[in-house]
Chains A and B, each alone.
Chain A
Amino acid sequence: MTITGKMTPRERVLNALEGKPVDRPPVANPTSIMTVELMDMVDAPFPDAHRDPEVNARLAATGHTELGFDSVYPHLSVVQESSALGCDIQWEGKENWPSVRMEKPIWRGPDDIKIPPDFLDHRDTATVIRSIEILKHQFGNEIAIIGKTMGPWTLCYHVFGIQNFLMMTIDAPEVALQALHRLKEVSVLFGEAQIAAGADLLTFPDHATGDLVSAEYYRGFLLEIHQEMAERLSAPLILHICGRTLDRMPFIAQTGMAAFHFDSKNDPVEAMEAVEGRIRMIGNINNPETLYARGPAEVRGEVRKALDAGVHIIAPECAIPLATKLENLMEIPKAVEEWAAEHSASTDGANKSSNGGSA
Protein backbone atom coordinates (compact mmCIF):
# COMPACT_ATOMS: atom_id res chain seq x y z
CA MET A 1 0.00 0.00 0.00
CA THR A 2 1.31 3.45 -0.89
CA ILE A 3 0.57 6.47 1.22
CA THR A 4 0.12 9.37 -1.19
CA GLY A 5 -1.50 12.10 0.92
CA LYS A 6 0.03 13.76 3.94
CA MET A 7 -0.84 12.11 7.23
CA THR A 8 -1.63 13.96 10.43
CA PRO A 9 1.17 13.76 12.99
CA ARG A 10 -1.04 11.57 15.21
CA GLU A 11 -1.77 9.12 12.39
CA ARG A 12 1.91 9.03 11.51
CA VAL A 13 2.97 8.15 15.06
CA LEU A 14 0.22 5.60 15.66
CA ASN A 15 0.74 3.95 12.28
CA ALA A 16 4.47 3.66 12.87
CA LEU A 17 3.85 2.09 16.27
CA GLU A 18 1.56 -0.48 14.69
CA GLY A 19 3.99 -1.19 11.85
CA LYS A 20 1.62 0.29 9.27
CA PRO A 21 2.71 2.48 6.34
CA VAL A 22 3.55 6.12 6.99
CA ASP A 23 4.19 9.09 4.69
CA ARG A 24 7.51 9.65 6.47
CA PRO A 25 9.09 8.38 9.68
CA PRO A 26 7.59 10.27 12.63
CA VAL A 27 9.48 12.47 15.06
CA ALA A 28 8.19 11.95 18.57
CA ASN A 29 9.29 12.47 22.13
CA PRO A 30 8.59 9.74 24.66
CA THR A 31 10.62 11.90 27.07
CA SER A 32 10.76 15.65 27.66
CA ILE A 33 12.07 18.06 25.01
CA MET A 34 11.37 21.20 26.99
CA THR A 35 14.05 23.87 27.33
CA VAL A 36 14.62 27.05 29.29
CA GLU A 37 13.93 29.14 26.17
CA LEU A 38 10.56 27.47 25.63
CA MET A 39 9.74 28.16 29.29
CA ASP A 40 10.42 31.85 28.68
CA MET A 41 8.53 31.89 25.40
CA VAL A 42 5.24 30.80 26.94
CA ASP A 43 5.90 31.98 30.49
CA ALA A 44 5.89 28.46 31.89
CA PRO A 45 9.01 28.04 34.03
CA PHE A 46 9.92 25.10 36.22
CA PRO A 47 8.78 24.27 38.83
CA ASP A 48 5.35 25.85 38.09
CA ALA A 49 5.09 23.86 34.85
CA HIS A 50 5.18 20.62 36.84
CA ARG A 51 2.41 21.59 39.20
CA ASP A 52 -0.10 23.73 37.32
CA PRO A 53 -1.98 22.00 34.47
CA GLU A 54 -2.56 25.18 32.42
CA VAL A 55 1.10 26.11 32.61
CA ASN A 56 2.14 22.52 31.95
CA ALA A 57 -0.03 22.22 28.83
CA ARG A 58 1.16 25.60 27.53
CA LEU A 59 4.75 24.41 27.71
CA ALA A 60 4.11 20.89 26.40
CA ALA A 61 2.32 22.27 23.33
CA THR A 62 5.51 23.98 22.14
CA GLY A 63 6.96 20.57 21.34
CA HIS A 64 4.71 20.65 18.29
CA THR A 65 4.01 24.34 17.70
CA GLU A 66 7.64 25.49 17.98
CA LEU A 67 9.80 22.44 17.44
CA GLY A 68 7.69 20.64 14.86
CA PHE A 69 7.52 17.26 16.58
CA ASP A 70 4.60 14.97 15.75
CA SER A 71 3.76 14.58 19.44
CA VAL A 72 3.26 16.53 22.63
CA TYR A 73 4.26 15.24 26.03
CA PRO A 74 3.22 16.81 29.33
CA HIS A 75 5.55 14.86 31.61
CA LEU A 76 8.40 17.17 32.43
CA SER A 77 9.96 15.08 35.18
CA VAL A 78 9.97 11.63 36.79
CA VAL A 79 8.41 12.50 40.11
CA GLN A 80 4.62 12.55 39.70
CA GLU A 81 3.73 9.06 40.89
CA SER A 82 6.35 9.00 43.61
CA SER A 83 5.25 12.38 44.92
CA ALA A 84 1.66 11.09 45.10
CA LEU A 85 2.90 7.98 46.93
CA GLY A 86 4.48 10.20 49.57
CA CYS A 87 8.14 10.49 48.50
CA ASP A 88 10.08 13.61 49.36
CA ILE A 89 10.64 15.71 46.25
CA GLN A 90 13.33 18.28 45.58
CA TRP A 91 11.53 20.69 43.26
CA GLU A 92 14.47 22.75 42.01
CA GLY A 93 14.12 25.83 39.80
CA LYS A 94 14.05 26.71 36.15
CA GLU A 95 17.33 25.09 35.14
CA ASN A 96 16.93 21.73 36.88
CA TRP A 97 14.47 18.89 36.88
CA PRO A 98 12.88 17.94 40.17
CA SER A 99 14.03 14.68 41.67
CA VAL A 100 12.93 12.13 44.25
CA ARG A 101 15.06 12.24 47.38
CA MET A 102 15.92 8.56 47.19
CA GLU A 103 18.26 8.89 50.14
CA LYS A 104 15.08 9.26 52.21
CA PRO A 105 13.14 6.10 51.31
CA ILE A 106 9.54 5.99 52.48
CA TRP A 107 9.17 2.20 52.67
CA ARG A 108 11.29 -0.80 53.63
CA GLY A 109 9.49 -3.68 51.91
CA PRO A 110 6.42 -4.79 50.00
CA ASP A 111 4.24 -4.92 53.11
CA ASP A 112 4.64 -1.16 53.49
CA ILE A 113 3.32 -0.45 50.01
CA LYS A 114 -0.02 1.30 50.15
CA ILE A 115 -1.48 3.20 47.24
CA PRO A 116 -3.29 6.22 48.68
CA PRO A 117 -7.00 6.23 47.80
CA ASP A 118 -6.66 9.78 46.49
CA PHE A 119 -3.58 8.92 44.39
CA LEU A 120 -5.10 10.34 41.19
CA ASP A 121 -6.26 13.50 42.96
CA HIS A 122 -2.81 14.35 44.25
CA ARG A 123 -1.63 17.67 42.83
CA ASP A 124 1.24 16.10 40.88
CA THR A 125 -0.67 13.26 39.22
CA ALA A 126 -3.74 15.44 38.67
CA THR A 127 -1.67 18.12 36.95
CA VAL A 128 -0.62 15.74 34.20
CA ILE A 129 -4.07 14.21 33.79
CA ARG A 130 -5.69 17.64 33.49
CA SER A 131 -2.92 18.82 31.16
CA ILE A 132 -3.63 15.89 28.84
CA GLU A 133 -7.29 16.95 28.74
CA ILE A 134 -6.25 20.48 27.82
CA LEU A 135 -3.89 19.24 25.10
CA LYS A 136 -6.59 16.94 23.73
CA HIS A 137 -8.97 19.88 23.56
CA GLN A 138 -6.30 21.98 21.82
CA PHE A 139 -5.02 19.43 19.31
CA GLY A 140 -7.94 17.03 18.93
CA ASN A 141 -6.89 14.11 16.76
CA GLU A 142 -4.15 16.02 14.92
CA ILE A 143 -1.18 15.51 17.22
CA ALA A 144 -0.14 12.40 19.14
CA ILE A 145 -0.45 12.95 22.87
CA ILE A 146 2.04 10.85 24.79
CA GLY A 147 1.42 10.15 28.44
CA LYS A 148 3.76 8.33 30.79
CA THR A 149 3.43 5.88 33.60
CA MET A 150 6.45 4.72 35.51
CA GLY A 151 7.17 1.02 35.66
CA PRO A 152 7.48 -0.76 39.00
CA TRP A 153 11.27 -1.18 38.83
CA THR A 154 11.78 2.60 38.75
CA LEU A 155 9.12 3.11 41.41
CA CYS A 156 11.00 0.65 43.63
CA TYR A 157 14.12 2.83 43.27
CA HIS A 158 12.06 5.83 44.37
CA VAL A 159 10.22 4.36 47.35
CA PHE A 160 12.95 2.04 48.73
CA GLY A 161 16.10 3.82 47.51
CA ILE A 162 18.24 2.45 44.67
CA GLN A 163 20.79 0.72 46.83
CA ASN A 164 18.22 -0.80 49.19
CA PHE A 165 16.17 -2.13 46.32
CA LEU A 166 19.13 -3.60 44.45
CA MET A 167 20.26 -5.28 47.67
CA MET A 168 16.72 -6.65 48.08
CA THR A 169 16.95 -8.24 44.61
CA ILE A 170 20.11 -10.05 45.74
CA ASP A 171 19.22 -10.92 49.35
CA ALA A 172 15.51 -11.68 48.91
CA PRO A 173 14.56 -11.85 45.24
CA GLU A 174 11.08 -13.17 45.99
CA VAL A 175 10.44 -10.14 48.23
CA ALA A 176 11.68 -7.80 45.50
CA LEU A 177 9.36 -9.51 43.05
CA GLN A 178 6.47 -9.05 45.45
CA ALA A 179 7.26 -5.34 45.64
CA LEU A 180 7.33 -5.11 41.84
CA HIS A 181 3.95 -6.80 41.56
CA ARG A 182 2.39 -4.46 44.11
CA LEU A 183 3.80 -1.33 42.52
CA LYS A 184 2.78 -2.34 39.01
CA GLU A 185 -0.76 -1.43 40.10
CA VAL A 186 0.40 2.20 40.34
CA SER A 187 1.55 1.96 36.72
CA VAL A 188 -1.85 0.67 35.62
CA LEU A 189 -3.86 3.14 37.69
CA PHE A 190 -1.98 6.22 36.51
CA GLY A 191 -1.66 4.96 32.93
CA GLU A 192 -5.35 4.28 32.51
CA ALA A 193 -6.24 7.69 33.96
CA GLN A 194 -4.09 9.34 31.29
CA ILE A 195 -5.59 7.23 28.54
CA ALA A 196 -9.06 8.22 29.73
CA ALA A 197 -7.97 11.87 29.68
CA GLY A 198 -6.90 11.61 26.02
CA ALA A 199 -3.40 10.14 25.86
CA ASP A 200 -2.92 8.21 22.62
CA LEU A 201 -0.01 6.18 23.93
CA LEU A 202 2.15 5.91 27.02
CA THR A 203 5.84 5.93 27.70
CA PHE A 204 6.65 3.19 30.19
CA PRO A 205 10.02 3.98 31.78
CA ASP A 206 11.45 1.15 33.82
CA HIS A 207 15.14 1.73 34.32
CA ALA A 208 16.57 -1.78 34.42
CA THR A 209 19.59 -0.45 32.60
CA GLY A 210 22.69 -2.41 31.68
CA ASP A 211 24.65 0.18 33.63
CA LEU A 212 23.12 -1.25 36.85
CA VAL A 213 21.75 -4.77 36.29
CA SER A 214 22.24 -7.69 33.94
CA ALA A 215 20.05 -8.85 31.08
CA GLU A 216 19.23 -11.92 33.15
CA TYR A 217 17.84 -9.60 35.82
CA TYR A 218 15.58 -8.07 33.22
CA ARG A 219 14.33 -11.47 32.14
CA GLY A 220 13.89 -12.76 35.70
CA PHE A 221 12.27 -9.75 37.33
CA LEU A 222 10.59 -7.75 34.61
CA LEU A 223 9.83 -9.56 31.37
CA GLU A 224 6.59 -11.12 32.61
CA ILE A 225 5.48 -7.93 34.33
CA HIS A 226 6.10 -5.94 31.15
CA GLN A 227 4.15 -8.50 29.15
CA GLU A 228 1.31 -8.10 31.63
CA MET A 229 1.46 -4.31 31.31
CA ALA A 230 1.22 -4.55 27.53
CA GLU A 231 -1.91 -6.66 27.98
CA ARG A 232 -3.58 -4.59 30.69
CA LEU A 233 -2.95 -1.02 29.61
CA SER A 234 -5.35 -0.04 26.86
CA ALA A 235 -3.02 2.05 24.69
CA PRO A 236 0.28 1.34 22.91
CA LEU A 237 3.25 1.37 25.27
CA ILE A 238 6.76 2.61 24.61
CA LEU A 239 9.22 1.00 26.97
CA HIS A 240 12.00 3.40 27.91
CA ILE A 241 15.27 2.28 29.47
CA CYS A 242 18.33 4.51 29.50
CA GLY A 243 21.90 3.34 29.05
CA ARG A 244 23.24 0.14 27.58
CA THR A 245 20.41 -2.24 26.77
CA LEU A 246 21.61 -4.17 23.74
CA ASP A 247 21.99 -7.40 25.74
CA ARG A 248 18.35 -7.33 26.89
CA MET A 249 16.77 -6.16 23.65
CA PRO A 250 15.94 -9.73 22.59
CA PHE A 251 13.89 -10.02 25.82
CA ILE A 252 12.38 -6.55 25.40
CA ALA A 253 11.26 -7.60 21.92
CA GLN A 254 9.11 -10.27 23.59
CA THR A 255 7.18 -7.87 25.86
CA GLY A 256 4.36 -7.21 23.44
CA MET A 257 4.87 -3.49 23.92
CA ALA A 258 4.53 -1.35 20.81
CA ALA A 259 8.03 0.09 20.87
CA PHE A 260 11.31 0.43 22.69
CA HIS A 261 12.89 3.86 23.25
CA PHE A 262 16.63 3.34 23.34
CA ASP A 263 19.75 5.26 24.24
CA SER A 264 22.62 6.39 22.02
CA LYS A 265 24.94 4.11 24.00
CA ASN A 266 23.51 1.42 21.71
CA ASP A 267 24.44 1.46 18.04
CA PRO A 268 21.22 1.73 16.00
CA VAL A 269 22.24 -0.96 13.50
CA GLU A 270 23.08 -3.42 16.29
CA ALA A 271 19.86 -2.50 18.10
CA MET A 272 17.73 -3.16 15.03
CA GLU A 273 19.46 -6.52 14.59
CA ALA A 274 18.93 -7.41 18.24
CA VAL A 275 15.15 -6.99 18.13
CA GLU A 276 14.76 -8.74 14.74
CA GLY A 277 11.69 -6.72 13.78
CA ARG A 278 9.63 -7.94 16.76
CA ILE A 279 9.20 -4.47 18.29
CA ARG A 280 9.33 -0.97 16.82
CA MET A 281 12.32 1.14 17.79
CA ILE A 282 12.44 4.80 18.82
CA GLY A 283 15.52 6.93 19.35
CA ASN A 284 18.33 7.48 19.66
CA ILE A 285 19.78 10.93 19.11
CA ASN A 286 22.49 11.63 21.65
CA ASN A 287 21.70 14.32 24.20
CA PRO A 288 24.85 15.52 25.98
CA GLU A 289 27.26 15.48 23.06
CA THR A 290 25.08 16.09 20.02
CA LEU A 291 21.89 17.93 20.95
CA TYR A 292 23.39 19.95 23.77
CA ALA A 293 26.95 20.60 22.69
CA ARG A 294 27.06 20.43 18.89
CA GLY A 295 25.17 22.06 16.04
CA PRO A 296 22.49 21.28 13.48
CA ALA A 297 24.92 19.57 11.09
CA GLU A 298 25.85 16.97 13.69
CA VAL A 299 22.20 16.50 14.66
CA ARG A 300 21.34 15.92 11.01
CA GLY A 301 24.09 13.33 10.74
CA GLU A 302 22.80 11.35 13.70
CA VAL A 303 19.21 11.48 12.51
CA ARG A 304 20.27 10.11 9.14
CA LYS A 305 22.33 7.39 10.79
CA ALA A 306 19.29 6.23 12.79
CA LEU A 307 17.01 6.36 9.76
CA ASP A 308 19.51 4.48 7.62
CA ALA A 309 19.62 1.79 10.30
CA GLY A 310 15.83 1.44 10.02
CA VAL A 311 14.81 3.08 13.32
CA HIS A 312 11.06 3.58 13.03
CA ILE A 313 10.54 6.79 15.02
CA ILE A 314 13.18 9.43 15.57
CA ALA A 315 13.56 10.96 19.02
CA PRO A 316 16.15 12.27 21.46
CA GLU A 317 17.44 9.38 23.57
CA CYS A 318 16.01 10.73 26.84
CA ALA A 319 14.89 14.01 28.43
CA ILE A 320 17.06 16.65 26.82
CA PRO A 321 19.29 19.02 28.79
CA LEU A 322 17.23 22.10 29.61
CA ALA A 323 19.75 24.47 28.01
CA THR A 324 19.68 22.69 24.63
CA LYS A 325 19.54 25.15 21.72
CA LEU A 326 16.23 25.23 19.89
CA GLU A 327 17.88 25.11 16.46
CA ASN A 328 19.27 21.66 17.29
CA LEU A 329 15.86 20.32 18.26
CA MET A 330 14.19 21.90 15.23
CA GLU A 331 16.77 20.23 13.04
CA ILE A 332 15.42 16.77 13.92
CA PRO A 333 12.10 17.04 12.00
CA LYS A 334 13.85 18.97 9.21
CA ALA A 335 16.41 16.21 8.79
CA VAL A 336 13.73 13.52 8.80
CA GLU A 337 11.74 15.33 6.11
CA GLU A 338 14.88 15.81 4.03
CA TRP A 339 15.80 12.13 4.37
CA ALA A 340 12.26 11.03 3.54
CA ALA A 341 12.13 13.28 0.47
CA GLU A 342 15.43 11.87 -0.81
CA HIS A 343 14.31 8.31 -0.29
CA SER A 344 10.92 8.96 -1.80
CA ALA A 345 12.56 10.54 -4.86
CA SER A 346 15.20 7.85 -5.21
CA THR A 347 12.67 5.03 -5.09
CA ASP A 348 9.93 6.92 -6.93
CA GLY A 349 7.33 6.22 -4.29
CA ALA A 350 8.33 2.61 -3.84
CA ASN A 351 9.33 0.93 -0.60
CA LYS A 352 10.88 3.41 1.80
CA SER A 353 12.79 0.79 3.75
CA SER A 354 11.96 -0.75 7.06
CA ASN A 355 11.10 2.55 8.75
CA GLY A 356 7.49 1.85 8.01
CA GLY A 357 7.68 3.94 4.87
CA SER A 358 5.11 3.54 2.15
CA ALA A 359 5.34 0.21 0.42
Chain B
Amino acid sequence: MNGRAAEVLERYGRCLQLIPVDRNFRDITIGLHEKSGVLTVWSYSSKPGVSKRLRQVRDGMVILGGLLPETSTQNQARFACGEIHVTALRILFEEAVGRQAESLSSPSPLQVQDLRSHLVLNAIPRERREGWMYQISTSGSDDTEIAQQRVRSTIGGLQRHGEMELTDPAAVAFPCGERHDELVGLLLTYARNAS
Protein backbone atom coordinates (compact mmCIF):
# COMPACT_ATOMS: atom_id res chain seq x y z
CA MET B 1 0.00 0.00 0.00
CA ASN B 2 1.26 3.47 -0.78
CA GLY B 3 -1.74 5.60 0.12
CA ARG B 4 -1.53 8.71 2.21
CA ALA B 5 -2.39 6.89 5.42
CA ALA B 6 0.49 4.47 4.89
CA GLU B 7 2.90 7.38 4.37
CA VAL B 8 1.71 9.10 7.54
CA LEU B 9 2.09 5.95 9.63
CA GLU B 10 5.53 5.35 8.16
CA ARG B 11 6.63 8.90 8.88
CA TYR B 12 4.99 9.53 12.27
CA GLY B 13 4.45 6.05 13.67
CA ARG B 14 1.60 4.45 15.57
CA CYS B 15 -1.50 6.39 16.48
CA LEU B 16 -1.78 6.61 20.27
CA GLN B 17 -5.00 8.56 20.46
CA LEU B 18 -7.64 9.96 18.15
CA ILE B 19 -10.02 12.82 18.87
CA PRO B 20 -12.85 12.27 16.35
CA VAL B 21 -14.21 15.81 16.43
CA ASP B 22 -12.28 18.87 17.54
CA ARG B 23 -15.04 21.13 18.84
CA ASN B 24 -12.58 24.01 19.06
CA PHE B 25 -11.59 23.92 15.41
CA ARG B 26 -14.02 23.18 12.57
CA ASP B 27 -14.83 19.62 13.70
CA ILE B 28 -11.60 18.18 12.29
CA THR B 29 -10.20 14.88 13.54
CA ILE B 30 -6.85 15.08 15.33
CA GLY B 31 -4.53 12.18 16.06
CA LEU B 32 -1.47 11.81 18.27
CA HIS B 33 1.25 9.65 16.74
CA GLU B 34 4.51 8.35 18.20
CA LYS B 35 7.69 7.17 16.57
CA SER B 36 11.06 6.77 18.30
CA GLY B 37 9.96 8.95 21.18
CA VAL B 38 8.79 11.80 18.95
CA LEU B 39 5.13 12.73 19.34
CA THR B 40 3.31 14.21 16.37
CA VAL B 41 -0.03 16.00 16.42
CA TRP B 42 -1.63 15.20 13.08
CA SER B 43 -4.78 15.75 11.05
CA TYR B 44 -5.66 14.65 7.53
CA SER B 45 -7.89 17.68 7.15
CA SER B 46 -6.86 20.29 4.62
CA LYS B 47 -9.19 22.98 5.93
CA PRO B 48 -7.58 26.42 6.14
CA GLY B 49 -5.90 27.00 9.48
CA VAL B 50 -5.21 23.37 10.34
CA SER B 51 -1.44 23.85 10.68
CA LYS B 52 -1.97 26.67 13.13
CA ARG B 53 -4.41 24.54 15.11
CA LEU B 54 -1.97 21.61 15.28
CA ARG B 55 0.70 23.95 16.60
CA GLN B 56 -1.74 25.26 19.19
CA VAL B 57 -2.45 21.69 20.39
CA ARG B 58 1.26 20.84 20.44
CA ASP B 59 2.02 24.00 22.39
CA GLY B 60 -0.81 23.16 24.75
CA MET B 61 0.77 19.79 25.44
CA VAL B 62 4.09 21.51 26.11
CA ILE B 63 2.50 23.86 28.61
CA LEU B 64 0.09 21.45 30.30
CA GLY B 65 2.37 18.42 30.28
CA GLY B 66 5.87 19.84 30.31
CA LEU B 67 6.85 18.24 27.00
CA LEU B 68 9.78 19.58 25.03
CA PRO B 69 8.80 21.02 21.65
CA GLU B 70 10.69 19.81 18.61
CA THR B 71 11.72 23.29 17.68
CA SER B 72 12.23 22.64 13.99
CA THR B 73 8.59 21.62 13.66
CA GLN B 74 5.18 23.06 14.43
CA ASN B 75 3.47 19.89 15.56
CA GLN B 76 5.98 17.67 17.33
CA ALA B 77 7.22 17.28 20.90
CA ARG B 78 8.84 14.72 23.17
CA PHE B 79 9.22 13.85 26.82
CA ALA B 80 12.51 15.09 28.27
CA CYS B 81 13.01 11.67 29.89
CA GLY B 82 12.89 9.92 26.51
CA GLU B 83 10.10 7.59 27.65
CA ILE B 84 6.48 7.50 26.47
CA HIS B 85 4.00 7.67 29.34
CA VAL B 86 1.09 6.51 27.21
CA THR B 87 -1.83 6.65 29.64
CA ALA B 88 -0.92 10.09 30.93
CA LEU B 89 -0.23 11.23 27.40
CA ARG B 90 -3.73 10.35 26.28
CA ILE B 91 -5.18 12.52 29.01
CA LEU B 92 -2.78 15.33 28.15
CA PHE B 93 -3.73 15.16 24.47
CA GLU B 94 -7.45 15.20 25.20
CA GLU B 95 -6.98 18.22 27.47
CA ALA B 96 -4.89 20.08 24.89
CA VAL B 97 -7.51 19.52 22.19
CA GLY B 98 -10.56 19.95 24.39
CA ARG B 99 -9.63 23.12 26.26
CA GLN B 100 -10.33 26.60 25.00
CA ALA B 101 -7.16 28.46 23.97
CA GLU B 102 -7.25 30.77 26.99
CA SER B 103 -7.02 27.85 29.41
CA LEU B 104 -3.91 26.48 27.73
CA SER B 105 -1.70 29.25 29.05
CA SER B 106 -0.41 27.72 32.29
CA PRO B 107 0.11 24.28 33.80
CA SER B 108 -1.93 22.89 36.67
CA PRO B 109 -0.24 23.43 40.07
CA LEU B 110 0.92 20.55 42.23
CA GLN B 111 -1.89 21.38 44.61
CA VAL B 112 -5.64 20.96 43.99
CA GLN B 113 -8.86 21.13 45.91
CA ASP B 114 -10.12 17.60 46.60
CA LEU B 115 -13.54 16.80 45.16
CA ARG B 116 -14.49 14.29 47.86
CA SER B 117 -13.60 16.31 50.97
CA HIS B 118 -12.70 19.81 52.08
CA LEU B 119 -9.02 18.93 51.93
CA VAL B 120 -6.40 20.26 49.58
CA LEU B 121 -4.27 17.60 47.87
CA ASN B 122 -0.55 18.19 47.45
CA ALA B 123 2.07 16.43 45.37
CA ILE B 124 5.54 17.32 46.57
CA PRO B 125 8.49 16.24 44.40
CA ARG B 126 11.32 14.62 46.35
CA GLU B 127 14.58 13.26 45.10
CA ARG B 128 15.78 9.89 46.27
CA ARG B 129 18.57 7.60 45.13
CA GLU B 130 16.40 5.85 42.51
CA GLY B 131 15.14 9.13 41.07
CA TRP B 132 12.26 11.51 41.68
CA MET B 133 9.03 10.66 43.43
CA TYR B 134 5.95 12.62 44.44
CA GLN B 135 4.90 12.63 48.08
CA ILE B 136 1.11 12.92 48.33
CA SER B 137 -0.26 14.78 51.31
CA THR B 138 -3.28 16.79 52.35
CA SER B 139 -3.82 20.08 54.09
CA GLY B 140 -6.83 21.86 55.49
CA SER B 141 -8.11 19.49 58.18
CA ASP B 142 -7.00 17.71 61.31
CA ASP B 143 -9.07 14.61 60.58
CA THR B 144 -6.26 12.10 60.11
CA GLU B 145 -8.49 9.23 59.04
CA ILE B 146 -10.09 11.15 56.18
CA ALA B 147 -6.73 12.57 55.18
CA GLN B 148 -5.15 9.13 54.99
CA GLN B 149 -8.08 7.77 53.04
CA ARG B 150 -7.90 10.61 50.53
CA VAL B 151 -4.14 10.17 50.13
CA ARG B 152 -4.65 6.45 49.41
CA SER B 153 -7.40 7.17 46.87
CA THR B 154 -5.41 9.90 45.16
CA ILE B 155 -2.41 7.61 44.88
CA GLY B 156 -4.66 4.98 43.34
CA GLY B 157 -5.86 7.59 40.85
CA LEU B 158 -2.30 8.55 39.92
CA GLN B 159 -1.39 4.90 39.43
CA ARG B 160 -4.40 4.40 37.16
CA HIS B 161 -4.30 7.63 35.16
CA GLY B 162 -0.53 8.02 34.99
CA GLU B 163 0.74 4.45 35.31
CA MET B 164 2.83 5.73 38.23
CA GLU B 165 4.43 3.27 40.61
CA LEU B 166 4.00 3.15 44.37
CA THR B 167 7.31 3.94 46.06
CA ASP B 168 6.07 4.12 49.65
CA PRO B 169 2.57 4.18 51.15
CA ALA B 170 2.20 7.89 50.41
CA ALA B 171 4.34 8.40 47.33
CA VAL B 172 4.41 7.53 43.64
CA ALA B 173 6.92 7.87 40.84
CA PHE B 174 7.05 7.53 37.09
CA PRO B 175 8.88 4.43 35.86
CA CYS B 176 11.50 6.71 34.26
CA GLY B 177 12.35 8.19 37.68
CA GLU B 178 12.26 11.73 36.28
CA ARG B 179 10.32 14.80 37.35
CA HIS B 180 7.20 15.60 35.37
CA ASP B 181 5.68 18.32 37.54
CA GLU B 182 3.27 19.71 34.94
CA LEU B 183 1.97 16.26 34.12
CA VAL B 184 1.48 15.35 37.77
CA GLY B 185 -0.39 18.62 38.28
CA LEU B 186 -2.72 17.66 35.44
CA LEU B 187 -3.12 14.07 36.65
CA LEU B 188 -3.98 15.30 40.15
CA THR B 189 -7.12 16.88 38.72
CA TYR B 190 -8.17 13.39 37.57
CA ALA B 191 -6.87 11.48 40.59
CA ARG B 192 -8.92 13.61 42.99
CA ASN B 193 -12.06 11.98 41.59
CA ALA B 194 -10.96 8.61 42.91
CA SER B 195 -12.79 7.22 45.91
A66 in contact with B4 given A40-B43, A45-B27, A327-B9 (CB within 8 Å): yes
| Bound: A327/B20 CA distance, A | 15
Q: A41-B44, A43-B46, A94-B27 are in contact. Are A36 and B5 (CB under 8 A)?
A: no
Docked Cα-Cα span, A38 to B29, in Å, equals 10
Tell me if B29 and A40 are in contact (CB < 8 A).
yes
| B-contacting residues, A292-351, CB 8 Å | 295-296, 322-323, 325-327, 330, 333
Q: Of residues 1 to 50 in B, which have CB atoms within 8 Å of A's CB atoms?
A: 1, 3-6, 9, 14-15, 18, 20-21, 27-29, 31, 43-46
Chain A contributes a number of interface residues (CB within 8 A of B) equal to 25
Closest residue of chain B to A329, judged by CB?
Answer: B5
How far, in angstroms, from A65 to B15 measured CA to CA in the complex?
20
Could you give, for residues 149-169 of chain B, a 1 whenever the CB lies within 8 Å of some chain A CB and a 0 otherwise? 000000000000000000000
Q: How far is the CB of B22 from chain A (nearest CB, A)?
A: 10
Instruction: Give Cα distance in the complex from A93 to B27, angstroms.
Output: 10
Known: A326-B15, A327-B9. A41 touches B4 (CB 8 A): yes
Assess the A36–B1 pair: CB atoms within 8 A. no
Minimum CB–CB distance from B5 to chain A (whole Å) comes to 5
Complex alpha-carbon distance, A326 and B27, angstroms: 19
Shortest C-beta distance, B15 to chain A (Å), equals 5
Let me know if B18 and A330 touch, CB within 8 A: no
> Do A40 and B44 have beta carbons less than 8 Å apart?
yes
Residues of B within 8 A of A323 (CB): 18, 20, 29
Known pairs A68-B1, A323-B20, A325-B15; A37 contacts B27 (CB<8 A): no
- Tell whether, in the assembled complex, residue A65 and residue B31 are in contact, meaning their CB atoms are under 8 Å apart: no
Are B31 and A37 in contact, with the CB atoms below 8 A? yes
- Give complex CA distance A79, B167 in Å: 55
| B15 partner residues in chain A, CB cutoff 8 A | 325-327
| Residue A285 is within 8 A (CB to CB) of chain B in the complex | no
Give the nearest-CB partner of A64 in chain B: B3
Does A95 make an interface contact (CB < 8 A)?
A: yes
B9 CB contacts on chain A under 8 angstroms: 326-327, 330
**B14 contacts A295, C-beta separation under 8 Å:** yes
With CB as the reference atom, state the residue of chain B lying closest to A292: B18
CA gap between A36 and B3 in the complex, in Å = 16
Closest approach, in angstroms, between the C-beta of B53 and any C-beta of chain A? 12
Q: Is the interface of B mostly helix, strand, loop or mixed?
A: loop
The yes or no answer to A67 lying at the interface (CB within 8 A) is: yes
Q: Which of chain A's residues have a CB closer than 8 A to the CB of B1?
A: 66-68, 330, 333
Contacts of B46 in A (CB 8 A): 40, 43
Contacting residue for A94 out of B6, B20, B43, CB 8 A? B20
Distance between Cα atoms of A272 and B168 in the complex (Å): 54
- CB contacts (< 8 Å) of B45 on chain A: these are 40, 43
Which residues of chain A are within 8 angstroms of B14 by Cβ–Cβ distance? 295-296, 327
Q: How far is the CA of A71 from the CA of B41 in the complex (A)?
A: 31
Cα–Cα distance between A295 and B3 once the two chains are bound (Å): 20
- Interface check A13, CB cutoff 8 A: no
- In the assembled complex, A84 has its CB within 8 A of some CB on chain B: no
A209 to B110, CA, bound (A): 53
Report A62 CB to chain B, min CB distance, Å: 8
Q: Given the complex, which residues of B lie within 8 Å of A135, measured CB to CB? A: none
CA A83 to CA B164, docked complex, whole Å: 52
Rounded to whole angstroms, the CA-CA distance of A177 and B21 in the bound complex is 43
B21 to A93, Cβ gap below 8 A? yes
Given contacts A93-B21, A327-B15, contact A36 B6 (CB under 8 A): no
CB interface residues, A 62-95, toward B, < 8 Å: 62, 65-68, 93-95
CB-defined contacts of A150 to chain B, threshold 8 Å: none
| Contact call A37/B3, Cβ cutoff below 8 A | no
A66 touches B18 (CB 8 A): no
* Interface assignment of A39: CB less than 8 Å from any CB of chain B: yes
Contact A37 B29 (CB under 8 A): yes
- Using a CB–CB distance below 8 Å, which chain A residues touch chain B? 36-41, 43, 45, 62, 65-68, 93-95, 295-296, 322-323, 325-327, 330, 333
- The 27 listed contacts between A and B (C-beta, < 8 Å) are A36-B20, A36-B21, A37-B18, A37-B29, A37-B31, A38-B5, A40-B29, A40-B43, A40-B46, A45-B27, A62-B3, A66-B3, A67-B1, A67-B3, A67-B5, A93-B21, A94-B27, A95-B21, A295-B14, A322-B20, A323-B29, A326-B9, A326-B15, A327-B14, A330-B1, A330-B6, A330-B9
Given A37-B44, A39-B29: 8 more A-B contacts, CB < 8 Å: A36-B18, A36-B21, A37-B29, A41-B5, A43-B45, A94-B20, A94-B29, A327-B9
